[in-house]
């Protein structure tokens, strides 16, 4: 006797699940210019690689003991391959109850959810978020209300951060717990003109605070990519978002127990770029773009910037040196260079990312110090600076700093680490100390300046005297600091990245300090 009738029933249920929220829900999704959840997975994954799990979960309507209708759960989950490497993906389906989990059943015998599978299988975890969070409609489904206990689920999401790469893509209007999940990752992004993010949307704001606001005004890209820094990158469209996800994950291992994959070397590790000899202006009041330095040193075309539109005085991202993945950070004088709260947050996340996934860290330093002024004080620059000191001192990843220009104060101190594999090179253009000679002289010699017949002439005289002993070569005489030809930077850093590999292999596994977003 054949089991063909049951196989046909299985096929029927799969087809019902593929209907998602039905024709009307799909039409609304497309009217917003958005792909459906299954189209998104097809666009993200290697062709034919997606293997769905929990695909039969949902709410069935039965007549005479037979399935008459079926509403799938508000997400699609499974394992796929990205450039040949496996990852777990969970994608919200806004066509089904706005991606809400309301009405779904669970309990005894419940299969492992996608985040738990990623943790247990040690695979990268990707969230394609398009969900409105909880809904009061679920109260009717349950016949009661309930005590919030979401941390039963979120505890796994926290564990993931110290075990596997996690990416969250905000693909639509995302609220409630999914909005928090957007930040429980190592990288997140929005899609231009399509994504919004908030704990509660405009109706909730109206009820709580009494004013009207649009979704875009409340939580669009202008808020979160440019101002709050809650979201790292902005994709031009959905295809761009999927390309960003694949590229980011390409620099990282599948989990913290594995080495990051080395790319095929495509650039001469001994290449010396002549432009580096003149990239730093002799006039220190002239700014320059540190992106040009990064591009001249790392493997050509390999730099992937993270959070390029926020905290722009600091540059952070991932790149390759002779094929080896590395973290990269730099001060950016064209955007002010001084580390402010926003820039410091970016740097702290990058250090944690490199420490968690065992990537060497390269810093191009031109640090005038922590941002000063009233606005910096209002934002808590001292506490941000203290946190940066803690994270720097607590890191263990191999770290190389190239001092291109200024290196002053405690912010300059955060470009150095006294433990583990650390290397520092300086260019002849470098200057350093506890503070700038300009301004510092006015404070240190205030009485002498005020007592002089010509205070301004005295100040200039003192500054000139101090400048005469500020040469980095004088420091090298006393400390042994290595000063290099800027054109030698790439060969030296490629060698550093290679030398770091045995150290990194010895550090595999979870770090003693867990990753915190």
- CATH number of the domain encompassing residue 92: 3.90.226.10
Are residue 33 and residue 172 in the same domain, yes or no? yes
pLDDT band (50, 70, 90) for residue 455? confident
Mean pLDDT of 469-474: 82
The Cα angle at residue 490 between residues 489 and 492, in degrees rounded to 5: 65
Phi (first) and psi of residue 314, to 5 degrees: -120, 140
Enumerate the H helices of 434-487 as residue ranges.
437-444, 446-451, 455-467, 472-479
Distance CA(158)–CA(149), nearest Å, equals 15
Distance CA(99)–CA(178), nearest Å, equals 10
At residue 108, the pLDDT reads: 72
Whether 330 maps to a domain, the answer reads: yes
Distance CA(17)–CA(19), nearest Å, equals 5
Distance CA(245)–CA(87), nearest Å, equals 11
At residue 117, the pLDDT reads: 97
In terms of residue numbers, what domain contains 107? 4-250
Query: In this prediction, what percent of the chain has a pLDDT beyond 70?
Result: 92
Distance CA(337)–CA(312), nearest Å, equals 8
Are residue 95 and residue 234 in the same domain, yes or no? yes
Whether 452 maps to a domain, the answer reads: no
At residue 470, the pLDDT reads: 72
Whether 292 maps to a domain, the answer reads: yes
Token pair 């496996």 is found at 86
Are residue 281 and residue 404 in the same domain, yes or no? yes
Are residue 31 and residue 162 in the same domain, yes or no? yes
Q: Is the dihedral of CA 337, 341, 344, 350 positive or negative?
A: negative
Are residue 194 and residue 54 in the same domain, yes or no? yes
Choosing from 234, 250, 266, the residue where a domain stops is 250
Are residue 240 and residue 322 in the same domain, yes or no? no
Number of domains in the chain: 2
Whether 20 maps to a domain, the answer reads: yes
Are residue 228 and residue 298 in the same domain, yes or no? no
Are residue 80 and residue 116 in the same domain, yes or no? yes
At residue 506, the pLDDT reads: 97
pLDDT band (50, 70, 90) for residue 17? confident
Are residue 72 and residue 105 in the same domain, yes or no? yes
Are residue 54 and residue 167 in the same domain, yes or no? yes
Residue 332 pLDDT exceeds 80: yes
Whether 198 maps to a domain, the answer reads: yes
Give the range among 51-65, 179-193, 218-232 with minimum mean pLDDT.
51-65
pLDDT band (50, 70, 90) for residue 303? very high
Residue whose C-alpha is closest to residue 234's, from 217, 221, 252, 218: 221
At residue 103, the pLDDT reads: 47
Choosing from 250, 266, 295, the residue where a domain stops is 250
Phi (first) and psi of residue 246, to 5 degrees: -60, -40
Enumerate the H helices of 168-220 as residue ranges.
177-181, 202-209, 215-219
Mean pLDDT of 144-160: 82
Residue 139 pLDDT exceeds 80: no
The whole-model pTM stands at 0.92
């Amino acid at each position: 006797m054949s089991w063909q009738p049951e196989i046909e029933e299985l096929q029927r249920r799969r087809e019902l699940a593929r209907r998602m929220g039905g024709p009307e829900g799909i039409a609304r999704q497309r009217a917003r210019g958005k792909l459906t959840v299954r189209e998104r997975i097809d666009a993200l994954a290697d062709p034919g690689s997606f293997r769905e799990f929990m695909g039969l979960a949902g709410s069935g309507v039965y007549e005479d003991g037979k399935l008459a209708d079926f509403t799938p759960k508000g997400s699609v989950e499974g394992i796929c391959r990205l450039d040949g490497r496996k990852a777990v993906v969970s994608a919200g389906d806004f066509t089904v109850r706005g991606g809400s989990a309301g009405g779904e059943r669970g309990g005894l015998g419940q299969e492992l959810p996608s985040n738990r599978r990623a943790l247990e299988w040690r695979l990268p975890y990707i969230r394609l978020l398009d969900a409105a969070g909880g809904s009061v409609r679920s109260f009717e489904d349950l016949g009661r209300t309930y005590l919030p206990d979401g941390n039963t689920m979120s505890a796994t999401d926290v564990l993931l951060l110290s075990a596997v790469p996690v990416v969250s893509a905000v693909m639509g209007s995302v609220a409630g717990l999914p909005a928090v999940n957007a930040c429980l990752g190592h990288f997140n992004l929005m899609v231009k003109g399509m994504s919004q993010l908030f704990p509660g949307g405009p109706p909730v704001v109206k009820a709580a605070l009494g004013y009207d606001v649009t979704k875009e005004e409340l939580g669009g890209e202008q808020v979160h990519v440019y101002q709050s820094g809650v979201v790292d990158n902005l994709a031009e469209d959905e295809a761009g978002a999927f390309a960003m996800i694949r590229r980011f994950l390409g620099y990282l291992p599948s989990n913290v127990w594995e080495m990051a994959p080395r790319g095929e070397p495509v650039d001469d590790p001994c290449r010396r770029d002549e432009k580096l000899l003149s990239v730093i202006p002799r006039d220190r009041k002239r700014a320059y773009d540190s992106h040009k330095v990064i591009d001249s040193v790392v493997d050509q075309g390999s730099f992937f910037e993270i959070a390029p539109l926020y905290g722009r005085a600091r540059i952070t991202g991932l790149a390759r040196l002779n094929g080896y993945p590395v973290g990269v950070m730099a001060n950016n004088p064209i955007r002010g260079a001084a580390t402010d709260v926003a820039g410091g947050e970016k740097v702290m996340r990058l250090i944690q990312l490199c420490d968690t996934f065992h990537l060497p860290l390269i810093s191009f330093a031109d640090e005038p110090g922590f941002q000063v002024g009233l606005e910096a004080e209002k934002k808590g620059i001292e506490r941000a600076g203290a946190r940066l000191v803690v994270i720097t001192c607590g890191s263990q990843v191999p770290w190389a700093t190239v001092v291109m220009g200024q290196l002053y104060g405690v912010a300059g101190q955060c470009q150095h680490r006294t433990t583990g594999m650390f290397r520092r090179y300086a260019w002849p253009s470098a200057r350093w100390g506890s503070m700038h000679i300009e301004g510092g002289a006015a404070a240190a010699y205030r009485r002498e300046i005020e007592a002089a017949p010509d205070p301004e002439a005295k100040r200039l005289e003192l500054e000139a005297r101090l400048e005469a002993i500020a040469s980095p070569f004088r420091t090298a005489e006393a400390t042994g600091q290595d000063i290099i030809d800027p054109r030698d930077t790439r060969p030296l850093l490629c060698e550093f990245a290679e030398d770091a590999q045995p150290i990194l292999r010895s550090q595999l596994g979870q770090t003693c300090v867990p990753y915190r977003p």
